[in-house]
């Protein structure tokens, strides 16, 4: 009897883990995204994009750590738009910060297609915004995403990484 119970629990755990593993690259519908678009693909403009995104990301993730839901996260981001403008303005005065519904093109990565559409997001456009972009999910903070160009994207889910590491 104990062996059967052990087998059933093990199967349940494996099914649960498999479900998390297959869903780890999905972005929740009510997520809030961030996108930083470089002026161009010159080395200097791409470096500026990375610097700006690092400062904004660090600042906002510290603030959003206190958010319990998307409504709270939205309020925190909205309240901090002046500070975000100050962060970007340290590096350039040729930029635009837009928080609201913004268009994201479709993206396919590792067999998963992320649909194009309008998403709640913070979009920082540097200069003419003609360069490659970086984007990630601000809330919930499910991933750390790094993209040097617009077609190479990698997501890491904390829960899935822990399952992969220990199971």
Query: Is 41 inside any structural domain?
Result: yes
Domain span at 134: 29-156
The per-residue pLDDT for 75 is 97
Q: Is residue 5 part of a domain?
A: no
What's the pTM? 0.70
Tell whether the model's pLDDT for residue 142 goes beyond 90.
Answer: no
Stretch (H or E) spanning 85: helix 81-89
Q: How confident is the model at residue 164 (pLDDT cuts 50, 70, 90)?
A: low
* CB count in 10 Å sphere of residue 72: 13
d(CA 53, CA 134): 8
- Specify if 22 maps to a domain: no
Residues linked to residue 101 through DSSP beta bridges, in sequence order: 120
Residue 167 in any domain: the answer is no
Burial (Cβ within 10 Å: 0-12, 13-18, ≥19) of residue 138:
buried
**For residue 12, is pLDDT > 80?**
no
Q: How many structural domains does the chain have?
A: 1
Instruction: Tell me if 77 is assigned to some domain.
Output: yes
């Amino acid at each position: 009897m104990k062996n059967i119970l052990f087998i059933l629990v093990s199967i349940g755990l494996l099914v649960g883990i498999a479900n998390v593993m297959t869903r780890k690259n999905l972005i929740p519908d009510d997520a809030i995204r961030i996108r930083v678009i470089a002026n161009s693909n010159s080395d200097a403009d791409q470096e500026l994009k990375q610097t700006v995104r690092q400062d904004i990301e660090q600042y906002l993730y510290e603030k959003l750590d206190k958010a319990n839901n998307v409504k709270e996260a939205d309020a925190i981001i909205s309240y901090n738009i002046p500070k975000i403008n100050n962060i970007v303005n340290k590096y350039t005065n040729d930029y635009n910060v837009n928080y609201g519904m913004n268009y994201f093109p479709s993206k396919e990565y590792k067999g998963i297609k992320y649909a194009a559409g309008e998403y709640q997001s913070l979009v920082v456009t540097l200069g003419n915004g003609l360069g490659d972009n970086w984007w990630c999910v601000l809330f919930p903070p499910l991933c750390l995403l790094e993209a040097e160009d617009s077609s190479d994207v990698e997501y890491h889910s904390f829960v899935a990484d822990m399952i992969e590491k220990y199971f």
